[in-house]
Chains A and B, each alone.
Chain A
């Protein structure tokens, strides 16, 4: 297992795997997002309490999930980098940060657009919203920290430590709706015994969530490949690929 992991960590092997999986994930993501938007807007029934406004769920919840998922990927990769000095892990964390920030921004913005008609306010300093805003600051801080240190190794280490310290915010976001009284409604999906959402509404939501995940992975893999190409432009395997015109 570890050997396999080690071989994958070699940028040449990762590059070969990513150039197959990347486009595959891209196609799967595009199909799921198209189906999810179609079913979410046209097929799913109207909610008896929230009317049509609930359809914001199909972009809000996947964004919010991704904001946390991408952070977990970043934190996990940061740990790999700090413990085993895996450069590839650092690259994945680096290219993930702007996308994580974008998903967090979307979660906050679409949440705001949902909160106005349902709660009567764009923003409330409650636990769920505040901890999600802190997540956005963590992403921004991570990118700013990386950008502010010239030495690549030091920048990577400092950023990795920040990412690991910030991971404490993730359970706070997740449990905030249980620990504190909040405007935000509790999770409707993750209690698997009795999901409080009807199946015809749930299916498009899961399609969107999976579509967002594939979308993140296809972009992450492509960006990681770009970073590898730049860093290893002088390595033989890159030169060979360049000559054979299959970068």
Chain B
């Protein structure tokens, strides 16, 4: 195990490479998730605005 972690003396280059790649890819994925949450919130907001408008107009369109 220690030998594996030592990477034949190149640990200082191999592990940062893999670690950085991991961090960047996790960041991309998390930002995709938060982008989606934001979009769904926007739709919900729009829906609330529409419902309110409809009620004010007295169209009676139930949603």
Contacts and interface: CB of A to CB of B under 8 A. Distances in A.
A53 B7 CA distance: 7
A161 B35 CA distance: 26
Contacts of A230: 38-39, 42-43
B58 interface: no
A46 to B, nearest CB: 7
Contact of B13 (A56, A98, A242): A56
Contact of A238 (B13, B14, B25, B43): B43
Contacts, number: 93
Main secondary structure of the interface of A (DSSP, over half): helix
Interface string A151-163: 0000000000000
Given A52-B14, A99-B28, A110-B17, A226 B47 contact: no
Contacts of B17: 56, 59-60, 109-110, 113-114
Nearest to B6: A52
B28 A242 contact: no
Given A234-B50, A247-B40, A63 B14 contact: no
B32 interface: yes
Interface of A: 37, 41-42, 46, 51-53, 55-56, 58-60, 63, 98-99, 102, 105-106, 109-110, 113-114, 116-117, 215, 219, 222-223, 225-227, 229-230, 233-234, 238-239, 242-243, 247
Interface of B: 4, 7-10, 13-14, 16-18, 20-21, 24-25, 27-29, 31-32, 35-36, 38-40, 42-44, 46-47, 50, 63
Q: Which 10 A-B pairs have the closest CB atoms?
A: A52-B8, A226-B39, A233-B46, A53-B10, A59-B21, A229-B39, A52-B7, A110-B17, A51-B8, A56-B17
13 contacts: A51-B10, A53-B13, A60-B17, A98-B31, A110-B17, A114-B13, A223-B35, A225-B39, A226-B36, A229-B42, A230-B42, A233-B43, A239-B50
